[in-house]
Every structure is written in structure tokens, then in C-alpha cells.
Amino acid sequence: MSIESLCGLTPDEILALIAPEEATMRHAVSVANSIYKKRLASLREFPGIPKSLRERLGTVAGSGLFPPIRTVLSDDGSVKFLFRNEPGQLYETVFIPEGKRQTVCISTQSGCRMGCPFCATGKYGFFGNLTARDMINQVISLPMAGQITHVVFMGMGEPMDNLGNVLKACRILTAEWGLTIAVKNVTVSTVGVEASAREFLETSPYNFSLSLFSPFPEERIRFVAAERKNPAHRIIDLMKQHSGERKRRMTIAYVMVKGINDSDRHLEALKHLAGNSGIRVNLLPYHPLPGDLNESSPPDLMQHFKHNLMISGISASVRRSRGADISAACGLLASGLAEISTPGQAKQV
């Protein structure tokens, strides 16, 4: 008989698992608290439920928690973790400390099938979706789990390509019976899958970020293949419809590449796209992969973009690069994973 993972389940699902004729919702919430708040890996340690129910639970389920198989520390204090789940999928997670803000960047897939040429994850290949359990475990299995204030779905994979599991993970992150992270501190990023983006924006309250790369469709399509079927301007139109929602942030992430997308022409087009919308523009440095001759736009030019966006009434920021020395920065996750093992050869943990 297969063993169910409690991590990734809601109290309703837990109740159905532990003999509802004998248990109550209070028991199910107690089990959820043991997993999500107390991060208990052993069912024997679960408080708040009768011994008979604990024994019954032990025959059909396990905690589903498992630690990373590798940890790498950056000079700037960021930490990258490598996970391998039972099917053998490899994926990475990054913890980013910054004052009182303690962020974890989680993955939603092992690899990615979007095929963006500047991204190491796309070059790694695609080895399947991660479950809500895999996503939540990336948060609660970290040594610093109790310090985490923000969660961003910006790791390996395209979140809108795995929307059901992403939405379930978001619910667990923010639920009172879950991790109780503030809704306004959860952000999901995408290169643009229109149908899923529409569903996400219409049915959930979480922050939304679009990776744009270029404001010109004919140029963007060379770097973001999703542009062909999911034009960025249509995604931005959806974002504009929801940008006024209280405590919800809409962001355009704009990676700046020297001589590619950092001209005054690009700046004016970006101002046109984001103007009078309430959408924030986050300017990011480019991190080239080995063999890539492109380089990031210089800091003064990035500040020039920021200044001109702001005087045009557009909220803008320049994101400081974190974790580049350990291949944990934007676009670098999955670097070197193919050398560890392929997912089909990985051993169960």
C-alpha cells in the first residue's frame, strides 16, 4: 500500500485520510499544525490526537518531509539548497537574508520547458512538475524555516505551467492552519502563460510578476519562446485589470542586457507599457551562462532607467544581485545539475 505524504495536504484531506468516523476537524488541524508550524518529521511526536488515531495515521501516511541533499553558502549570505524527491527529480531552492526580510525562492518544476536561451534551467531540460508537497517542503525543511517572512515562486520551472500545485502550495503557505505567511509576502513569477495567468489573477490574491525581457514582441520572441502563443501585452492587460487590488503587487521583471534591451528606445516602450497602470518595474542585472558573450547593463544605465521610469510616475527599483558566486542568482539555477545525475537515475531519499 502506498504511503501518503501529510505535507501538502489540507485539513479536509487529512481528515479523510485518518478515519473521519473516529476523528474530528480539530484532530486534522492538529496534524496540519504538527507538519506546517512545528515541522515534525516523526508522527510519534504529533501532539493533540489520540493514540489510536496516531497509530491509524501511521499505517497510511508519513510526514513527507525530507532534507536537502546539498547546501552551498554564498559570500553575500545567500544559501542554495539542492533537493531530490522520491521519483528522483532534482531541484534547487535559495534562501536570501536581507535585514528583517528573510526570503526563500522555491522551484515549481524539475527543469523547465519554456526554453529561454539565457536561462540555465531551460538548458537543463524538463523532468516534470513538482507537487505541492515538494514546494512546501522547500520552505519547512530548511534550517532557517522559522525565520522566513517571504516566499517567491521564482526558482526552477514555470509556475503557470503547474498552476494547480502552485495554488495549493500558496494556500498552505498563507493559511492559519498552515505556515501563516502574509498573503502580501507571497509572489509568483511567470514568463507568461495567458490562460493560467488569467486563472491565477482572477482566483487568488497573491502577488504576480511577469518576466518581460523586451517590450518589443518581435525582439522578445527571440529570447522568450512563450511570447509566440502568449503575447506579453495581453498578460500586461490582465495585470492592469488587477493592479488596483488592495495589498496586491503587480510587477514587470526586466533583466537588462548590455546593447540588447537597454537603449532609450526600450526605455520609452517600457514607459508606455507600464504607464498609468500601477504596475511596478523591477530592473535586474543579467547573469551570463558559461560561453555567453553578453553581459549585464552597467549600474549607471540601470539607475538611468529607474530614474526615468520614476519621474514618469512608474514605481521602479533595481534589484541587487544575490548568490551569483554559487549560481543561485536569476537565470542560473540548475547550473551543473546534469553532472550530478539524471532524475531517472536518482535514488530515493
Report d(CA 161, CA 212) in Å as an integer.
17
Residue 158: active-site member: no
Catalytic entry in 92, 158, 194, 227: 92
Which whole-number Å values give the CA distances from 7 to 13, 62, 127, 133, 138, in the listed order?
11, 8, 22, 5, 11
Q: Which residue has the cell 503587487?
A: 249
Read off the amino acid at residue 122: G
Report d(CA 242, CA 236) in Å as an integer.
10
C-alpha cell at 310: 520614476
Q: Residue 91: in which H helix or E strand, if any?
A: strand 90-98
Q: Residue 80: in which H helix or E strand, if any?
A: strand 79-84
Work out the angle at residue 218's Cα, subtended by the Cα atoms of residues 217 and 221, and round it to the nearest 5 degrees.
75
**Residue 299 contacts residue 128 (beta carbons within 8 Å):** no
C-alpha cell at 21: 468516523
Report d(CA 17, CA 14) in Å as an integer.
5
Q: Could you tell me which of 96, 186, 93, 76 has the C-alpha nearest to residue 141?
A: 93
Residue 176: active-site member: no
CA 199, distance to chain mean position in Å, is: 17
Q: Could you tell me which of 107, 121, 154, 130 has the C-alpha nearest to residue 251?
A: 154
Could you tell me where the DSSP H helices lie in the chain? 11-17, 25-36, 51-60, 120-124, 132-140, 163-174, 194-203, 217-223, 232-242, 264-274, 299-311
**Residue 322 contacts residue 329 (beta carbons within 8 Å):** yes
Catalytic entry in 116, 119, 170, 330: 330
Which residues are annotated as catalytic? 92, 330
